[in-house]
Structure 1
Amino acid sequence: MLTKQTLTSWNWRDAADASFAGRLDAPTTNIHLDLLAAGLIPDPFVGQNEADLQWIQHKTWVYTTNFKAAPVATEELADLVFEGLDTFATVKLNGSEILRTENMFIGHRVDVRHLLKPENELEITFESAYDKGEALRAKYGDRICWNGHYGRIYVRKAQYHFGWDWGPSFMTCGPWKPVSLERYTSRIDDIHVDIDLADDFTQAVLKIAIDVEPKVEHHSVEVELKRPDGSVISTTQAVNGSTSIPVTQPQLWYPHTHGAQPLYQLQVWLRSAAGRVLHTKAQTIGFRRVELIQDPLKEGTSFYFRVNGIPIFAGGSNWIPGDNFLPRMTPDRYKRWIEIAVRGNQNMIRIWGGGIYEDDAFYAECDRQGVLVWQDFLFACGNYPTDKWFIDSVTEEAAQNIRRLRSHPSLAIWAGNNEDYQVANEGLKHDMQMPEEQWAKSTFGARVTYERTLPDLVQKYSPGAIYWPGSPFGGVDNNSDRTIGDVHIWNVSSGMLLPYQRYPDVPARFISEFGMISCPSVATVKETFFGDDEDQHVQSKSFEFHNKAHGYEKRMFTCIGESVRMSFELEPFVYLSQLVQGEAMYYAYRGWRRLFEGRECGGTLVWQLGDSWPVTSWAIVDHFERPKMAYYTIARAMRNVGTGISRKLKVNPRPNHQHEAFCNGKIKADAAGVIAHATPHIYPKRESIFSVWIANATTDIQTLKSRVRFISIKTGKEVRDAVEQIIEAKATGTTDIISDAEGPEAEPTVIVSEIYDANGVLVSHDVDWPQPLKHLTFPDRELKVEVRGEDLIISAARPVKGLWFTNVGVHFSDNALDVVPGQKLRVVAPGLQEGLQWRYYGM
């Protein structure tokens, strides 16, 4: 039987300074965690400590471990298996060099039979990845990259380790994945399951291929498939490493917004001629068909996912690594993060190309909890080299990770890179119409990697899987065409700085990145931003240190100040930043989801779900898993059945010609040369039109009661008669309730849409406010919050904007609420033990 001895006791030291040394007992680690545990450095995430710890990245660090090994028997094999070394490592066993590595995403298996002794010493020397990157840059030349140290382009290491506009620069090193000694006579190297699912989903055939190393005559391979309830469907013998298993009426796997996640278990046994089990492996199977639909539209093509024949609006987040120190990401942390996404009604997560191919635990949770995964290959914001040594390393990296991840039912799509086509277009002026034979020798030679090498590898190791060359990608410039492919929209919180209320005016077929910057929770700020700095102002050096976005104040203050009344006191500032982020995300999700009816928008993924450290960023949940206001506004916009409102002024009194050109065009270049501002000095009467609709993600027509009300912000009285009707909300689409009606503008008025089910239960509601909020005042609202155990019952005599409960450690079922007269909203607050704390806009 294969035995596995994971090495867990490590000694570490600075190769040149014996005063930096220590010991730990853990299967995975890195040098920053070890220095921290030994009390040799302060917490890297607190205050400005990051700046004082940059010396670590220039050192050479040595890890050693000792282990015992029994003599190797005849016909027995013994391998040291390195699942991941970060990054430039030289490995010696008992003084003999056995391995050199230069890619943290590649695993290695080394035959060490001839070197094993009863007592063994394994030594791994890690050289500076930063210094290696700079040496490669000096040798091969500068290449364009956005974010991080410039040498990162040449180094196959998590790119965010080099610093990003939301994260610090901590150049880690160490055995970041387990190292183990495996002993066996023969082992199962790989299992590849190809699922042939009938068009009507009533039948499926599993075609199973098993690779065994080494192949030994008379060994047998047995395969068993179990249903989700544990009952056995079939037990069969593989012949020449392959077998097939038919399945009748397979239970289908769906994203959690559309169905259940039944998971089948495949077990494989390798047996000797005498029937002794030599090795066993298990694999989880999910029956589903995921399609990327790109049908012609009036302009361009659609871009949406269909799962088991059901059109899915993909609403979710981008994922960056959950910690700068990856060994701290435990299965339990991954489980909690995916639970956060699911509670937020998110059905897709995009794993961004500047991070890592995530741990198996991440994908397993997405399988179990029903979250689709968009997986980037690990290239981000740069012009990567195409030298043979680099491509050889990338090829092995891609092959290993495709094989590791291909069986997960949650994995929906592979994408070649993050924003590298944008770099080529804007930074290199690459001709996207260039003939293919010229790509390799052009300024953007990596195009061969993204459009030939990687798709070929995907089809070789995972035939039929969806591959997309990059994110963003599509259209005439291969990155910003809103009518073809996917786009990243960064001209609201940065770039041209469109007001966030214009998000619905810049739709795209699929928005795979966009966002608005905001502060983390007040508790997170106080715990980590200042350290021993007594200056705790929001414009202090320590506060600014925890915001890595270039020129962030110009962007952040503009976005806040043009919509709400500013405050620079800590707690109000944090609240206002989160309020604006929440409003912006709601405008976007609400408006773009409406367009799924005509498949003009197939999905939107906010940048980003969480943070790798405590920071002011675009995250909707901070590093300590504390949701921001945007998390809740997105969750409401993504309810399976939800209502939405849009209101637009008939005449914009302060037009911006560049903004209009961007909204009316289809690529970024359409607005690039347009003069931005116009000052017509017009003072039109405030007049608007509004529309109300229901979005229904389910496959059933929903019979609902709709009520639309018009309530004075000042008095709380209704200024118009309510509009009530019974609506048959169409399946997987949008149903209009009111279209382009005259808006209520005689006085500041909120429009309220409420939809009820057949039992009179409020299913969803939306409140639309006159914009900008800074022009409104909020005298006494007569807000009442009644605490009944873990239930909160909320009402108000006059409309309340952005009610935000701030108790730390309480998982509120809803938050960031708009409360209007005539409603009693119920929020569940598990874990509420102390006095309830809240604030709302204008209080």
Structure 2
Amino acid sequence: MANFFSIHLDLMSERLIPDPFVGMNEKTVQWVHLKDWVYECAFPIPEVKLEEWVDLVFEGLDTFALATLNDQVILKSNNMFVPYRVNVSKLLKPMNILRIVFESPYIKGEEILKDRGQRVCWNGHYSRIYLRKAQYHFGWDWGPSLVTCGPWKPIFLEKYTSRIKNFRVDSHVAEDLQSAIISVSVEAEPFSKDHKMNVVIIGPDGNPVPVQEDDLGQRLAKLIAPQLWYPHTHGEQPLYVIRITVTSSSGEVLDTSTKTIGLRRIQLIQTPLKEGSTFYFAVNNVPIFMGGSNWIPGDNFLPRMDADRYSRWIDLVVKGKQNMLRVWGGGIYEQDEFYDECDRRGVLVWQDFCFACGQYPADAEFLQNVTEEAVAALERLRSHPSLVILAGNNEDYQCLRQADDIVNHDMSMPESEWLTSTFPARHIYERLLPDIVREQAPGTIYWPGSPWGGEDNNTDRTIGDVHLWNVSSGMLVPYQRYPDLAGRFVSEFGMLSCPHVDTIKKTFFGDSKDFHPQSEAFEFHCKANSYEKRMFTCMGENFRMSFELARYVYLSQLLQSEAMGWAFRGWRRKFEGKECGGALVWQTNDSWPVTSWSIIDYFERPKPAYFVISRALAPLAVGVVRKPLAGAAGIVAHSTPHIYPPRKSNFSVWVANATEKEYFCTVELKFISIESGVETRTAQHEKIGAKATGTTEVIMGECPEDEPTVLSARLINESGEVVAREADWPQPLKYITFPDRELEVAVRGEEVVVRARRPVKGLVFLNGIGWSDNCLDVIPGDEQRVSAKGLTENIEYIYYGKDEN
């Protein structure tokens, strides 16, 4: 009956408001969320037979909605995440009027806040914690305050004699992976003794799987040597199709429903270590380093997110060699297309329940609302093979811990006191939600929150998952120390950067002619508190600053890429001892054009960090790093490195192998003068056996620091091909100049060939097309080739120090 709607999109389509994403229009359209809005439509209905039922289905109403049909109240909604179904058989006429009044969530929230009082809340309006609505709509440190309303998911009429009401699929893979059981339970309404229900399971090969019915009416399929589903980094994604058909006694098909599942064994491994315990995932008994990112809603106006857009985003994730996305708790339970695409492409999903950064209530009405929401979400999501873990919230424990002077909650108090404490939502995260998960999605891993573990659920990096924010904020620790800051699983960390310069020119300035990166229009598109203080500190410690727009954008992106490279390489190296089980960068994407922590901007343009992370997560990767000898000041503390500069450094080279087979290769290490490009030393280890699913340390030694030298490591296979490369540069880069690089960039069809006589740092191709690789360190004697569809000879590029000498 109805398409997806949102009041801002509808007003834009009628040209009643400007695009809120352009210039500073956000603040000129905020009057929209101070109003109530009415949606109304008229529709005819064909004759309804006596034995037929007619339901009006609302898949998603945002958020406070009163629906009437032919002037009769049929529904009151106060939860954006709960679908509703109303039988309207007796209310229908030949012509019908459906009217939905949406109260302003902003005003409604302010009324509740005035009545119930202010609670601890990070980001957005304080009232949001009382509302079951996507929390980011109220503004975040990367997003605008555009509080939406409207029917954000389809509304339709369903006419039926019998319909499939509940269709549940549970599966279990044996520990030895040699067998599996698929259990199917179905509930239909109305369902008479004359009706028949047929369950068909089709294997990945297209052949049917035998199905039996047990005494309880469940259909069971027992499989020998099942085809197992893996993340894309470790295998294929075979899918089984379960099809349900309800027929009448005459053979008429009354209803059908289909689900697609994958069979896999997922474990969260937490075993004791010398300090704390492990936190890593094993898929089909294979320990896997989870390298990925945090997913926020892809748009502030959710109806814009269609199947094609989801497909393009997941394609970027797969091409970036990421195997896990964390669906952040301040957004939504994503649309079906998101999880379907993750199933098909082999991307694991960490799903937060929709609570973020706040002191949520837990009164009886709120608990009932949350229960309906959680059950609805799990009924929809539980059969997806990509879904591997559910977390109760995002940063709520951390938020309250840091506001301990206000909350003063004793974590040791008995459960019987939780609901009457200053942290009543603890009951939601540690009792209500885990009970619902056990009932609705048995076997799915549940984790009370993110971060969670240790005495204060964040600062203890030896237990559970952590959010590391002491590099780009907090203590502002130099990013070169990321490897030392490893947690058992780092579910959030990141570094701010600008989006692509074309994104900025298209959206940031609007009618403004002031194109300076410190202009009001530019800074309006960064919502992070004190972002200049944080970003400038990190940039100024490492690079020579520039405020020419394109160069400023580049430096911010180089900063992000360097920080992410140090983090991912260093933490993946620690997977060998299971000291770090994974890292999810904050964040994958943006919900609008903005300077943020994303590694891909709103218009799907990857930033340089995307490519650096991709190389660090390759199935086979090489790493190289040097540190000053003990007792010398140096790269990790930028305070006074020039007073006692290190005369020598320790260096080490390692190989990370994510595959299940030992890999035989050659590791080459060259020492190259940055000034002259002359090779001063070479170390080569042939026929290294890089151990499976772990890290192999290869070369260690001392490196003189009498002149700036880059250490270039390459991983070469038995056929002589370069499989991976990495370079370690003297820190900080601002002390080095890069004149006369003699860089050659040659276009050959849809391929670019790059060579240099002297080392080049951070070569970035600026053309907004789909590059196979980018942000390259180019070393003399090491030709690199990258490709891009639609490539022309007009290549724009920049590298660190270009045209600055």
* Cα pair 2:737 2:801 within 8 Å, conserved: yes
348-357 or 246-255, larger mean C-alpha shift = 246-255
Residues 674-723 of structure 1: per-residue CA shift (max 9 Å, x gap): xxx98899524433111110000000000011111110001111112333
Partner in structure 2 of residue 256 of structure 1: 232
Match of 2:744 in 1: 784
* Counterpart pick for 1:120 among 87, 96, 101: 96
Distance in 2 between the 1:723 and 1:769 partners? 19
- Give the alignment of 1:623-638 within 5 angstroms: 623-638=602-617
Q: Does 1:756 align with 2:735?
A: no
Q: Which residue of 2 aligns with 1:649?
A: 628
1:31-50 alignment to 2 at 5 Å?
A: 31-50=7-26
Pairing 1:289-438 to 2, within 5 Å after superposition:
289-427=265-403, 428-438=407-417
Aligned to 1:668: none
Is the alpha carbon distance of 1:261 and 1:795 closer, same or farther for their aligned partners in structure 2, counting shifts above 3 Å? same
Q: Is the 8 A contact 2:747 2:793 kept in 1?
A: no
Q: After the TM superposition, which residues 64-75 of structure 1 pair with which residues of structure 2 at under 5 Å, given as runs?
A: 64-75=40-51
**3-state secondary structure, aligned to 2:453:** coil
Judged with a 3 Å threshold, the aligned counterparts in structure 2 of structure 1 residues 590 and 247 are, in CA distance, closer, same or farther, namely: same
Distance in 2 of aligned mates of 1:42 and 1:537? 23
User: How far apart in 2 are the matches of 1:401 and 1:46?
Assistant: 34
Q: 2 CA distance for matches of 1:68 and 1:681?
A: 80
Equivalent residue letter for 1:620 = I
SS in 1 for 2:681: coil
Q: Structure 2 counterpart of 1:778, which letter?
A: F
Q: In structure 2, which of residues 767, 772, 785 is the aligned counterpart of residue 807 of structure 1?
A: 767
Q: Which runs of 5+ in 1 are unaligned?
A: 1-6, 9-26, 661-676
- Aligned CA distance change for structure 1 residues 436 and 310 (closer, same or farther; 3 Å): same
Query: How far, CA to CA, are the matches of 1:278 and 1:755 in structure 2?
Result: 60
Which of the residues 676, 684, 701 maps onto 2:662?
Answer: 701
Which digits, 9 at most, give the CA deviation of each residue in 1:244-272, with x for residues without a partner?
Answer: 11222211100000000011111110111
Post-superposition offset of 1:214: 2.3
Whole-angstrom CA distance in 2 between matches of 1:413 and 1:594 = 24
The ranges of structure 1 where at least 4 consecutive aligned residues each deviate by more than 4 angstroms after the TM superposition are 235-241, 651-656, 677-682
Alpha-carbon distance between aligned partners in 1 of 2:229 and 2:169, rounded to the nearest angstrom: 16
Task: Pick from 527, 535, 545 the counterpart of residue 548 of structure 1.
Answer: 527
Instruction: Determine if the alignment matches structure 1 residue 167 to structure 2 residue 143.
Output: yes
Verify: 1:92 aligned to 2:68, yes or no: yes
Matched, 1:491 2:470: yes
Say if 2:716 is the partner of 1:719: no
Paired residue for 1:234? 210
Work out the CA distance in 2 between the residues paired with 1:237 and 1:682: 79
Change (3 A) 1:373 1:221: same
Give the match for residue 221 of structure 2. Answer: 245
Contact 2:633 2:646 in 1 (8 A): no
The residue type equivalent to 2:305 in the other structure is: M
**Cα offsets for 1:132-158 (capped at 9, x unmatched):** 111111111111100001100101110
- Counterpart CA distance in 2 for 1:298 and 1:707 is 34
Distance in 2 between residues matched to 1:425 and 1:254, nearest whole Å: 38
Greater mean deviation of Cα atoms: 539-548 or 685-694: 685-694
**401, 422, 432: which one pairs with 1:443?**
422
Decide which of 502, 509, 513 is 1:523's aligned counterpart. 502
Between 433-442 and 294-303, report the one with greater CA deviation.
Answer: 433-442
Kept in 2: contact 1:651–1:687 (CA 8 A): no
* Cα deviation, residue 273, structure 1: 2.0
Q: Secondary structure at the match of 1:562?
A: helix
Please tell me the root mean square deviation across aligned C-alpha atoms, in Å.
1.6
TM-aligned CA distance change 1:685 to 1:636, over 3 Å: closer
Are 2:38 and 1:62 aligned?
A: yes
Task: Letter of the 2:760 partner, please give it.
Answer: V
Identify which of 534, 540, 548 aligns with 2:513. Answer: 534
Question: Which of 814, 821, 824 is matched with 2:783 structurally?
Answer: 824
Give the match's secondary structure for 2:137.
helix
Indicate conservation of the 8 Å contact 1:795/1:821, yes or no.
Answer: yes
1:814, 1:108 → 2: CA distance? 46
Give the aligned residue type for 1:622: D
Kept after mapping to 2: 8 A contact 1:226/1:234: no
* 1:325-356 C-alpha deviation (Å, 9 max, x unpaired): 00000000000000000000000000000000
Tell me the CA shift for residue 786 of structure 1.
Answer: 1.5
Q: Conserved in 1, the CA contact under 8 Å of 2:323 and 2:348?
A: yes
CA contact (8 A) 1:224 1:236 kept: no
**Could you tell me how far 1:243 is from its partner in structure 2?**
1.1
Determine the structure 2 residue equivalent to 1:281: 257
- In 1, the alpha carbon distance for the partners of 2:634 and 2:392 equals 39
CA contact (8 A) 1:591 1:646 kept: no
Preserved contact between residue 170 and residue 324 of structure 1 (Cα < 8 Å): yes
CA distance in 2, matches of 1:316, 1:155: 30
Match for residue 272 of structure 1 among 215, 234, 248? 248
Query: Which structure 2 residue ranges, 5 or more long, are not aligned?
Result: none
Aligned-pair CA distance for 1:538: 0.4
SS in 1 for 2:575: helix
The DSSP-based 3-state class of the residue aligned with 1:374 is: strand
| Cα distance in 1 for residues equivalent to 2:643 and 2:739 | 30
Residues in 2 aligned to 1:469 and 1:762: alpha-carbon distance in whole angstroms: 44
The Cα shift of 1:241 comes to 4.2
The counterpart of 1:838, out of the listed 780, 787, 797, is: 797
CA distance in 1 between counterparts of 2:596 and 2:692 reads 36
The answer on whether the counterparts of 2:374 and 2:436 sit within 8 Å (CA) in structure 1 is: yes
Q: By how many angstroms is 1:358 displaced?
A: 0.2
Contact conserved, 1:651 with 1:684, CA < 8 A, in 2? no
Which residue of 587, 596, 599 corresponds with 2:578? 599
Check if 1:710 corresponds to 2:671: yes
Q: Secondary structure at the match of 1:597?
A: coil
SS at match of 2:313: helix
Corresponding residue pairs, total: 799
Give the corresponding residue for 1:667.
Answer: none
Name the counterpart of 1:130.
106
Q: Supply the distance in 2 between the matched residues of 1:827 and 1:680 (Cα, whole angstroms).
A: 37
Q: CA contact under 8 A between 1:71 and 1:117: conserved in structure 2?
A: no
| Contact 2:633–2:645, Cα closer than 8 Å, also in 1 | no
- Matching of residues 567-582 of structure 1 within 5 Å: 567-582=546-561
Check if 1:738 corresponds to 2:717: no
Q: Structure 1 stretch 554-563 or stretch 825-834: which is displaced more?
A: 825-834
1:466-491: CA deviations, max 9, x gaps?
Answer: 00000000011122210000000000
Aligned amino acid, residue 777 of structure 1: T
Contact 1:351 1:375 (8 Å CA) reproduced: yes
Whether the aligned pair in 1 keeps the contact of 2:198 and 2:245 (CA below 8 Å) is yes
